[in-house]
């Protein structure tokens, strides 16, 4: 069976070589994930046609955008592109920026002008010029502008990376809402596992221009070896919302029959959400400990053990039912507790680490 | 005197118009092309900056003369003579003032960078539409600067005019040549009037450009 989007690009440039194959279903958000310099932006630009791979092929739905003797220029591809830094056209007002692509669209409108303005909350700034907006506002306009070109495929290149954490907090809810409501297949470039966790269902990992892994986000993260983790090693769990507790600002998730508290989510009861759990916020005990401020205690089985290169810490892979967790502990406690593969233990997850606001640096 | 002022203004206006029409695409090509040949073209465009106008005028005269292949072709096919005519002056001025228009416009295009054009492409604009709706508006300060410099530089042209245009009242006798004539004839009064006029006009031109450019940059960025 072939995927909705299938592409393969080979490109050589100075000391960098990209050789990557990519596929994506016609729904949902796929992350292109990797460190800076791994080629994820280049891959995205190849999909957009902004960069022409020396050899490559790309098919989207039933359209061939690139083949050995065919290259559809970017302006003839039904894409929406959000650049890393908001690149609003500086001589045009917000309104003119929003309509710039829209006025050239001759297909049926899936997203109307008013709808985009409302979805991204830019109604109050239509007559302003880009230099009069904050970074977060500019990026919202840029996202709205991309949506209004009625894309078949939305391409986002680290749309949050140029923003401070306040700006990120400001935009993430809009991104979550639009990826949930608009059903435009999206490729999302990022090096932040937290962003990816909140927005993406699938993941393609890149390293030095090559794809090292791809698949469902939770699975890819669970099998990601220590050497490929970017930043703090983390696991991603996926579970349903059981209840909301606005009084404490918490939502409760159902994780294999256990209740996990996370920060209040803007999601329906029963809806599936993803949560990133950093390994440093997971502790291991051999007995159940009650009355801890860590609150979340889950029975788990040790399925893998990896020493950190420093020789001081260990990364323990845990399985809780169908979910995977990672725990970072010292080699000392590892030996004191006598941990070994296959052992049944209790994983304690620090609640505060599941508060999303803490995780966006 | 009025005749030579009118002729000079006409020459400078026509030259500036033609230069904007051919200099802008040329500047765009120089700014965007990666072809090795572009440096050769850039050098040719810049040559009038360093060449004595008489050298330029001399070769133009040879090229336009009634016995040169160009001259013969033009007079046979279009019944057009270039040496010692207004049309010839326009061609000479276009070449002579070219770097003063192409350089600032090219700098303005360079300053835009690749990103706005990529943005336009992802917003379905063809390269031509992107040029007209994005590159040109963003390069407005450079276009204004090029137009004013081209105009002012053509006003002050002397050597090239003398070589290919001579001194025919109403046809090729521009202000700069007229001033020379007055001085030759020791008519200091008239020479003064024209010189001071040209000085003042050039000053106002460039001052206005500077002020406008400043305001435009504020509006755009």
Domain spans, chain B: 2-220
pLDDT of residue A358: 43
Any idea which architecture B2-220 has in CATH?
Orthogonal Bundle (1.10)
Least CA distance to B122: which residue of chain A? A75
A264 with A304, same domain?
yes
Mean pLDDT over A14-31 rounds to 91
Of the residues B122, B138, B141, the best mutation for testing chain A's interface (the one with the most A CB atoms within 10 Å of its CB) is: B122
Domain match, A108 and A16 both = yes
> A112 and A160 share a domain?
yes
Count of beta carbons in the 10 Å neighbourhood of residue B27: 27
Give the separation between CA A322 and CA B155, rounded to whole angstroms: 83
Q: Identify whether residues A199 and A302 lie together within a single domain.
A: no
Give whole-number Cα distances, B146 to A299, B105, B106, in Å: 75, 6, 9
Residues A175 and A311 in one domain: no
Whether B138 contacts chain A with CB within 8 A: yes
A179 and A302 within one domain? no
Please indicate whether residue A290 or residue A311 has the higher confidence score (pLDDT).
Answer: A311
Nearest to A351 by CA among A299, A301, A283, A269: A283
Burial bucket for residue B129 (CB in 10 Å: 0-12, 13-18, 19+): middle
To the nearest whole angstrom, how far is the Cα of B133 from the nearest Cα of chain A? Answer: 9
Predicted confidence at residue B167, as pLDDT, reads: 79
Contact A353, A262 (CB under 8 A): no
Beta partners for A283? A348
Q: What is the pLDDT of residues A325-345, one digit of tens each?
A: 899 999 998 899 888 999 999
Say if CB A263 and CB A354 are below 8 A apart: yes
End of a domain among A226, A252, A270? A226
B89 sits in which H/E element: helix B86-112
How far, in Å, CA of A228 to CA of A30, rounded? Answer: 18
Residue A259 sits in a domain whose CATH number is: 2.40.50.100
| DSSP per-residue letters across A271-331 | -EEEEEEEGGGEEEESS---S-TT-EEEEEEEEEEEE-TTSSEEEEEEEETTEEEEEEEEH
Q: Are residues A335 and A209 in the same domain?
A: no
> What per-residue confidence (pLDDT) applies to A357?
47
Whose tokens are 């830094």? That residue is: A85
pLDDT at A9 over 60: yes
The tokens describing A197, both together, are 């966790």
* A100–B123 C-beta distance less than 8 A: yes
Rounded Cα distance between B10 and B171, Å, is 11
Q: Looking at residue B150, what is its pLDDT?
A: 93
Query: Are A43 and A192 members of one domain?
Result: yes
Would you state the pLDDT for residue A17?
92
In this structure, are A240 and A215 located in the same domain? no
Q: How many domains does chain A have?
A: 2
Domain boundary among A226, A244, A262: A226
Least Cα separation, residue A359 to chain B (angstroms): 31
Round to whole Å and give the CA distance between A350 and A294: 4
- Determine the residue of chain A that is closest to B114 in CA distance: A50
Mean pLDDT over all residues of chain A? 87
Confidence of residue A138 (pLDDT cuts 50, 70, 90): very high
* Domain extent at residue A271: 234-359
Rounded mean pLDDT of A166-179?
A: 82
% pLDDT > 70, chain A: 95
Regarding whether A209 and A267 lie in a shared domain, the answer is no
Q: Which of A226, A249, A266 is the last residue of a domain?
A: A226
Least confident of A15-24, A285-294, B146-155: A285-294
Element (H, E) at A261: strand A258-263
Shared domain check, A137 and A42: yes
Enter the ipTM: 0.82
Nearest CB to B220 within list A49, A91, A100 = A91
Contact between B151 and B205 under an 8 Å Cβ cutoff? The reply is: yes
| Mean per-residue pLDDT, A273-295 | 79
Same-domain check for residues A60 and A140: yes
CATH number for A211? 3.40.50.300
B46-102 residue pLDDT tens? 999 998 888 988 888 888 887 888 878 877 787 777 778 888 889 999 999 999 999
pLDDT tens per residue, range B117-156: 999 999 999 999 999 999 999 999 899 999 999 999 998 8
């Amino acid at each position: 069976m072939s995927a909705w989007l299938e592409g393969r690009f080979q490109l050589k440039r100075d000391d960098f070589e990209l050789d990557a194959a990519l596929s994506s279903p016609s729904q949902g958000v796929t992350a292109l994930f990797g460190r800076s310099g791994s080629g994820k932006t280049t891959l995205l630009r190849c999909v957009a046609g902004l960069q022409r791979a020396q050899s490559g092929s790309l098919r989207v739905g039933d359209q061939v955008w690139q083949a050995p003797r065919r290259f559809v220029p970017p302006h003839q591809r039904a894409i929406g592109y959000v650049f890393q830094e908001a690149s609003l056209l500086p001589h045009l007002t917000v309104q003119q920026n929003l309509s710039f692509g829209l006025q050239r669209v001759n297909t049926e409108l899936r997203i109307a002008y008013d709808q985009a303005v409302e979805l991204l909350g830019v109604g109050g700034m239509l007559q302003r010029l880009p230099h009069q907006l904050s970074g977060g506002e500019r990026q919202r306009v840029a996202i709205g502008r991309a949506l209004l070109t009625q894309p078949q495929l939305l391409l986002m290149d680290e749309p949050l990376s140029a923003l401070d954490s306040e700006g990120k907090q400001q935009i993430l809810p809009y991104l979550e809402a639009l990826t949930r409501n608009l059903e435009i297949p999206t490729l999302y470039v990022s090096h932040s596992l937290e962003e990816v966790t909140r927005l993406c269902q699938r993941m393609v990992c890149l390293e030095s221009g090559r794809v090292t892994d791809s698949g469902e986000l939770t699975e890819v993260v669970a099998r990601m070896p220590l050497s490929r983790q970017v930043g703090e090693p983390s696991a991603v769990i996926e579970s349903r919302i059981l209840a909301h507790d606005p009084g404490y600002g918490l939502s409760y998730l159902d994780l294999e029959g256990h209740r996990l508290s996370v920060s209040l989510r803007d999601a329906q009861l029963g809806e599936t959400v993803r949560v990133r759990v950093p390994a440093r916020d997971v502790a291991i005990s051999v007995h159940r400990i009650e009355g801890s401020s860590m609150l979340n205690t889950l029975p788990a089985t040790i399925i893998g053990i990896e020493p950190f290169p420093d020789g001081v810490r260990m990364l323990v892979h845990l399985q809780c039912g169908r979910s995977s967790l990672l725990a970072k502990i010292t080699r000392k406690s590892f030996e004191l507790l006598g941990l070994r593969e296959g052992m049944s233990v209790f994983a304690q997850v620090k609640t505060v680490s599941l508060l999303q606001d803490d995780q966006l640096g | 005197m009025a005749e030579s002022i009118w002729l000079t203004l006409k020459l400078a206006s026509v030259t500036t118009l033609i230069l904007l029409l051919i200099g802008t695409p040329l500047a765009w090509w120089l700014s965007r092309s990666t072809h090795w040949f572009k440096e050769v073209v850039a050098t040719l465009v810049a040559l009038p900056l360093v060449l004595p106008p008489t050298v330029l005028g001399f070769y133009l005269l040879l090229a336009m003369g009634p016995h040169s292949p160009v001259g013969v072709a033009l007079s046979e096919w279009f019944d057009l003579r270039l040496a010692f005519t207004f049309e010839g002056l326009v061609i000479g001025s276009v070449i002579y003032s070219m770097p003063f228009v192409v350089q600032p416009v090219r700098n303005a295009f360079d300053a835009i960078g690749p990103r706005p054009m990529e943005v336009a492409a992802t917003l379905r604009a063809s390269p031509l539409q992107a040029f007209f709706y994005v590159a040109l508006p963003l390069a407005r300060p450079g276009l204004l600067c090029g137009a004013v410099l081209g105009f002012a530089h053509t006003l002050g042209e002397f050597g090239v005019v003398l070589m290919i245009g001579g001194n025919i009242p109403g046809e090729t006798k521009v202000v700069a040549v007229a001033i020379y004539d007055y001085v030759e004839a020791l008519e200091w009064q008239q020479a003064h009037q024209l010189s001071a006029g040209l000085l003042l006009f050039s000053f106002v031109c460039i001052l206005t450009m500077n002020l406008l450019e400043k305001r435009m940059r504020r509006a755009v960025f």
